[in-house]
Amino acid sequence: MSDSINIALDAMGGDNAPEEIIKGAVSALETSPEIKLFLCGREDDIRAELSKYSYDVNRIEIVHATEIIGMDEPPVMAVRNKKDSSLVKCMYLVKEGKCDALVTAGSTGAFLVGGQIIVGRIKGVERPPLAPFIPTATGRALLLDCGANVDARPTQLVQFAKIGSAYVKKVCGINNPRVGIVNIGAEEEKGNALVKETFPLLKATPEINFIGSVEARDIPYGAADVVVCEAFVGNVILKMYEGVGTVLLKSIKDAFMSSGRSKIGALLAKPALKKTLKQYDTDQYGGAPLLGCNGLLVKTHGSSKAVSINNSILQCKTFIENNINDDIREMFSVSMDI
Amino acid sequence: MSDSINIALDAMGGDNAPEEIIKGAVSALETSPEIKLFLCGREDDIRAELSKYSYDVNRIEIVHATEIIGMDEPPVMAVRNKKDSSLVKCMYLVKEGKCDALVTAGSTGAFLVGGQIIVGRIKGVERPPLAPFIPTATGRALLLDCGANVDARPTQLVQFAKIGSAYVKKVCGINNPRVGIVNIGAEEEKGNALVKETFPLLKATPEINFIGSVEARDIPYGAADVVVCEAFVGNVILKMYEGVGTVLLKSIKDAFMSSGRSKIGALLAKPALKKTLKQYDTDQYGGAPLLGCNGLLVKTHGSSKAVSINNSILQCKTFIENNINDDIREMFSVSMDI
């Protein structure tokens, strides 16, 4: 294998495939000369899109795949039966070591199943968490698990905390990231059975900087760098972020458009507002990685446009250049020795 | 007892007590001639505040209480030991039938404990849910349970659905309110163990209009009128609403103030924005009722100002005038007969 960073890209996954996927791919090649991309999907469709751009042909390889896994297909069946799908092909490229990472905007369910059963977990990792960044008033926070493993056990939440710390340390350059557990009150005795059991375990984990409970209200303020929770709760947090933000911004936009006076006001305030709201634009962070697998697997939003595909590819580059999986491997090989 | 609607008010509870509590009380008396208020707390403090206003002295009764339960006191101990606290006095006024309802901005924990052990549940209600309204793009939705009972069982969630339906029917005038269960996907087979067990039970409950799973993202859009979930999840939803909304609006405000140009823009757009954002102001809905107790118990935000005290009192009036507890009693006496 060459010195390039090889990334598999599901050219057929998501609402805007293959157009936006290919557009994002070409743009990532332009900014990062060390990247080589493996585009998985229908060769004709991929070539047709690629013909719109000029790029270094040596840095793109097309891996033909006849099938596509739909967003609503039962994930386990889809991964098992559609061996010739673009997503499954991406998974095998990582499994076989031909690629270091993969990016898909396709089915989340199939992504999670494929990650576990095709690519596989790092030895010692019980359940790989899905770990997106969420924007905060002061920067960003890593939220994990946000949907991979419902009904997790306390020891698994402790693993999430350790994996998340290692990731944030390297990706955000925060030396001693603050780890908080999502709770319904700030006191140690508060919470449901899972949180009450997990709290003392986190306190007794020397590798992390555990700051205690974090109330959901304080997450958007930036109360912690690593926000640990069970997948159902994490998913609710992520979706509430999305839902409340979108509804509120839509209402504000409607208000701006409601009269001549407010329209002029909007026009004047637009540049300042645009700058502020960019801070809350999750596209800039790339997708959600499934951490703790043998390779980096990144899931971007189904509605991803080129910019978030581009950023997800750059996210893989950062991950690989920083050898984050080596840190995770070392972390769990040590715990295995005890 | 007279024909008036008697409501107990914890004059010492919350960050702005007693000033804002008394101000809200006097304002509620003005709009609703059928109300009589029982103000519990330190008589001197209450009289000092009341002296600022003119009001009908026959419609306010002061119930002297020497103690105050602090926000951070362990709830069970506080309710047990501080028999002469303003909150416990309110609870006994309801228990003894002297008042039909109570409103407090004090400790949530003590409120929940006092509701259960002093006022008590309606026969057949397993665990009274805390049930605030949350604003949506199309109106409002009742969220329950949002913090009273962590680790609830499926049969308890079914009770929440029934109680919530009865409440929304009368309070919002929605004939057949749509009941959704919070889930991490729209399909029936998705979810954690609790949701998977609860889903078929809700489907088999003829008294409610069950529309299936509701993703957190869709709640702010108004996807359901009654949003059922376990208390930990409900609390996270409520707090995320608060956190994301506040942080986003603060950022927008900062953006408006960032330049001369944007300041003028803000000035022009202000009336339209104010009108829109009022829709998301939870103060207008009053507080969160603990439903299923023998009397109506309402908890408003610790930082409540007069307006939300006023609206919480009016909320009690609506509840009592509509005999909602009779509906809940009937509902559960029928289920008990089976």
Running DSSP on this structure, what letter comes out for residue B76? H
CB spacing of B269 vs A272 below 8 angstroms: no
Say yes or no to pLDDT of A246 above 60: yes
Segment A70-84 mean pLDDT: 93
Contacts of B77 in chain A (CB under 8 A): none
Report ipTM for this prediction.
0.88
Sign of CA dihedral B115, B118, B124, B127: positive
CA distances from B16 to A330, B237, B304 (A): 53, 25, 7
Distance (Å, whole) CA B93 – CA B10: 11
Q: Best residue in A108, A262, A280 to probe B by mutation, most B CBs within 10 Å?
A: A262
Distance (Å, whole) CA A6 – CA A12: 18
Q: What is the pLDDT of residues B63-93, one digit of tens each?
A: 999 999 998 899 999 999 999 999 999 999 9
Decide which of A102 and A245 is more confident: A102
Contacts of B237 in chain A (CB under 8 A): 216, 236, 240
Supply the pLDDT for residue A49: 97
Nearest-CB residue to A256 (from B237, B258, B272): B272
User: CB distance from A130 to chain B under 8 Å?
Assistant: no
With cut-offs at 50, 70 and 90, classify the pLDDT of residue A334: low
- Is there a contact between A45 and A334 (Cβ–Cβ < 8 Å)? no
**If you search the block for the tokens 């057929």, which residue do you land on?**
A12
Supply the pLDDT for residue B125: 94
User: What would you measure as the largest C-alpha separation in chain B, in angstroms?
Assistant: 70
Which of A113-127, A240-254, B49-63, B66-80 shows the lowest mean pLDDT across its residues?
A240-254
Q: Which residues contact A31 (CB under 8 A, 6 or more apart)?
A: A310, A314
Supply the pLDDT for residue A2: 55
Distance (Å, whole) CA A156 – CA A327: 18
CB spacing of B243 vs A249 below 8 angstroms: no
Q: Best residue in A184, A195, A197, A278 to probe B by mutation, most B CBs within 10 Å?
A: A184
Sign of CA dihedral A10, A14, A18, A24: negative
CB spacing of B265 vs A269 below 8 angstroms: yes
DSSP codes, A284-316: GG--EEETTBSSEEEE--TT--HHHHHHHHHHH
CA distances from B169 to A240, B164, B287 (A): 26, 8, 18
Q: Which residues contact A324 (CB under 8 A, 6 or more apart)?
A: A166, A167, A170, A171, A296
High-pLDDT (> 90) share of chain A, %: 77
Supply the pLDDT for residue A258: 85
Segment A92-119 mean pLDDT: 96
Strands A296-299 and A101-104: parallel
Q: Can you name the residues that pair with B130 across neighbouring β-strands?
A: B290
Residues 67-86 of B with CB under 8 A from A: 72
Distance (Å, whole) CA A310 – CA A29: 9
Enumerate residue ranges in chain B where pLDDT < 70.
Answer: 1-2, 282-283, 334-338
**Cα atoms in the 13 Å half-sphere on the side-chain side of A224:** 28
- Is there a contact between B282 and B307 (Cβ–Cβ < 8 Å)? no
**If you search the block for the tokens 């299923």, which residue do you land on?**
B292
Omega before residue B15 within 30° of 0, cis: no
Sheet containing A139-144, strands listed edge to edge, beginning at the edge strand earlier in sequence: A133-136, A139-144, A226-228, A178-183, A209-215
Nearest-CB residue to A268 (from B232, B248, B265): B265
User: What would you measure as the largest C-alpha separation in chain A, in angstroms?
Assistant: 70
- What is chain A's length? 338
- Is there a contact between A107 and A88 (Cβ–Cβ < 8 Å)? no
Contacts of A262 in chain B (CB under 8 A): 268-269, 271-273
Q: Which pair of tokens denotes residue B141?
A: 């939705």
Nearest-CB residue to B248 (from A219, A272, A280): A280
Nearest-CB residue to A243 (from B192, B217, B276): B217
CB spacing of B193 vs A250 below 8 angstroms: no
Sheet containing A296-299, strands listed edge to edge, beginning at the edge strand earlier in sequence: A60-64, A35-41, A5-10, A101-104, A296-299, A288-290
CB spacing of A241 vs B244 below 8 angstroms: yes
CA distances from B202 to B75, B151, B336 (A): 33, 18, 18
Distance (Å, whole) CA B111 – CA A122: 47
Supply the pLDDT for residue B277: 76
Residue A55 CB-density burial (10 A; 0-12 exposed, 13-18 middle, 19+ buried)? middle
Q: Can you name the residues that pair with B84 across neighbouring β-strands?
A: none
Residue B313 CB-density burial (10 A; 0-12 exposed, 13-18 middle, 19+ buried)? buried
Distance (Å, whole) CA B320 – CA B310: 16
Alpha-helical segments (H) within B98-215: 108-114, 154-172, 193-203
Element counts in chain B: helices (H) and strands (E): 11, 11
Collapsed DSSP state (helix, strand, coil) of residue B65: coil
The minimum CA-CA distance between B275 and chain A, rounded to whole Å, is: 8
- Phi, psi (deg, nearest 5) at residue A209: -100, 80
CB spacing of B265 vs A261 below 8 angstroms: no
DSSP codes, A197-238: HHHHHHHT-TTSEEEEEEEGGGGGGT--SEEE--HHHHHHHH
Segment A146-167 mean pLDDT: 94
The minimum CA-CA distance between B63 and chain A, rounded to whole Å, is: 31
Say yes or no to pLDDT of A337 above 50: no
Segment A213-230 mean pLDDT: 95
Q: What is the pLDDT of residues A256-293, one digit of tens each?
A: 888 888 888 888 888 888 887 777 776 677 799 999 99
Q: Can you name the residues that pair with A136 across neighbouring β-strands?
A: A139
User: CB distance from A252 to chain B under 8 Å?
Assistant: yes
Nearest to B157 by CA among B74, B227, B97: B227
